[in-house]
Amino acid sequence: MSRRPRERHHHHVYVVQLSDRVWNEPAFRKANPAHDICKPCVYVGMTGLDPDLRFDRHMAGVQANRFVLKYGVRLLPELYECYNPMPYEAARDMEVELAIGLREAGYGVWQA
């Protein structure tokens, strides 16, 4: 019986749509002065888990970001699937780059 080699690239970036109510949070508003109200508010993260599982963990309060726990709506795979999976270092860097790119495009972004 042959053993499959362990997949080296198993980290992911992911984007969670947040309810528009997150805009009532002063810290979120302060972090997004150029938010285009036609674009959604989002949370950008990275994980060694499958993004669906990580989202479920956020919503269950397990190592959850407070904005995702309170305002999380759904994943937005169209904004991140093309990047995954990747090595840890690449995911760490891509999380920041993706957040910056989305903010520059007018999204309201929270990235911890």
Question: Is 7 a member of any domain?
Answer: no
Question: Is 24 a member of any domain?
Answer: yes
Number of domains in the chain: 1
Q: Which long-range contacts (CB under 8 A, 24 or more apart) does 50-59 make?
A: 50/12, 51/12, 51/14, 51/75, 51/77, 51/80, 51/84, 54/12, 54/14, 55/14, 55/16, 58/16
Question: Is 36 a member of any domain?
Answer: yes
Does 5 have pLDDT greater than 60? no
For residue 18, the enclosing domain spans 12-111
What's the pTM value of the predicted model, to 2 decimals? 0.92
* E strand or H helix at 108: strand 108-111
Question: Is 6 a member of any domain?
Answer: no
Confidence of residue 112 (pLDDT cuts 50, 70, 90): confident
